[in-house]
Amino acid sequence: MLWGDPELQWRAGPAIAHLLHPCVRCRTDKLRIRPLAYAHLPKSCLKACASLQGSGVERTTGRKERKAIRTDSSGRRVQNSILRSIPEGEYNLLREYLEPTDLPAQHILHEAGARIDFAYFLNDGMASLVVLTSDGRSVEVAIVGKEGIVGTPLVVGLSRGPHRAVMQIVGSGLRIKSADLMEVLDSAPEMRLIWNRYVLVQGLQVAQIAACNRLHDIEQRLARWLLMCQDRIGSETLLVTHEFLAQMLGTGRPSVSLAAGILQGYALIENIRGTITILNRPGLENAACECYFAMKHFNGGSGAQ
């Protein structure tokens, strides 16, 4: 799970823990193993875990596994973690209102200060929450992928928010009209609780990124951003320009170019004409500031994978 509360995290049962023991990743991170999320584990772990598919994972509360395989009204599989984590009955209340939608890069999902018409559950791609200043500058204060919701003010009953939400990496998802969302939430207390927790975690992310932008070096922040992005889109190749990164990190383009050059000099990334490829993820984790791990921690440890 992605929003930090131990009650919402899955615990490997004793037999599973025993089988996973040889894996370094599992030994240090047993509570975060999820049966449908082996893709992010190293090959040695995949081999050890192969026989565990479908063998069951118990919840810390003893309740049944909830990260179900779900489909939308068009029959497409839902990848959004929040939608896959709410109870089946409450998801069924929501399902008829969810509208599949393609989300191109630079598409604005809602504008700062304007009425929010839809909430979005991303299946893939990545959105940013951005603060805009009166002189035309901007800085990213939160990232949302398939682990979250765009339109969190709606969840807590607000019709407007202070940030622009914009797609940064092309993707797709499901959207729901704000009025429908409010109506369903009134009948779905557990869904409301889970979403409220996500809203809190997103607030923590905003605070951490604000501190990061103020306190940490640009190469640390760039490494942190690349890791967060890779967690959400599941690819080591990111189509991003220095101009774009400068806007996201609240700095100038020359600073981004310098930082990218430093990371490339250590063979952590390859940067060629609008494309950054992560070559050495462990090395990039070492280069990132503590903020990356702080956000992973309160996200429940698994980032957005």
In angstroms, what is the minimal distance from the CB of 200 to Zn ion? 20
Q: Is 291 in the site for Zn ion (CB under 5 A)?
A: yes
In angstroms, what is the minimal distance from the CB of 290 to Zn ion? 6
Nearest of 143, 199, 290 to residue 5 by alpha carbon = 199
In angstroms, what is the minimal distance from the CB of 248 to Zn ion? 13
Q: Is 77 exposed, middle or buried (0-12, 13-18, 19+ CB in 10 A)?
A: exposed
Query: Using CB under 5 A, which of the segments 70-78, 127-135, 190-198, 213-221 binds Zn ion?
Result: 213-221
Rg for the chain, CA atoms, rounded: 19
Q: Is 216 in the site for Zn ion (CB under 5 A)?
A: yes
Binding residue (CB under 5 A) for Zn ion from 212, 233, 263, 276: 212
Of 150 and 291, the one with the shorter C-beta distance to Zn ion is: 291
Of 38 and 293, the one with the shorter C-beta distance to Zn ion is: 293
Total of residues contacting Zn ion (CB under 5 A): 4
Buried b (16+ CB within 10 A) or exposed e, 32-59: bbbbeeeeebeeebeebbeebeeeebeb
Of 98 and 291, the one with the shorter C-beta distance to Zn ion is: 291
Q: Is 289 in the site for Zn ion (CB under 5 A)?
A: yes
Q: How many helices (H) and strands (E) does the chain have?
A: 13, 10
Contacts of 6 (CB under 8 A, 6+ apart): 31, 60
Of 177 and 216, the one with the shorter C-beta distance to Zn ion is: 216
Query: Using CB under 5 A, which of the segments 41-49, 166-174, 266-274, 290-298 binds Zn ion?
Result: 290-298
End-to-end CA distance of the chain: 9
In angstroms, what is the minimal distance from the CB of 303 to Zn ion? 15
Of 37 and 206, the one with the shorter C-beta distance to Zn ion is: 206
User: In sequence order, what DSSP letters do the residues of 177-209 get, joined into one string?
Assistant: EHHHHHHHHHT-HHHHHHHHHHHHHHHHHHHHH
Q: Which two tokens stand for residue 28?
A: 């240090």
Q: Which two tokens stand for residue 243?
A: 């101009």
Of 110 and 232, the one with the shorter C-beta distance to Zn ion is: 232
Q: Which residues bind Zn ion (CB under 5 A)?
A: 212, 216, 289, 291
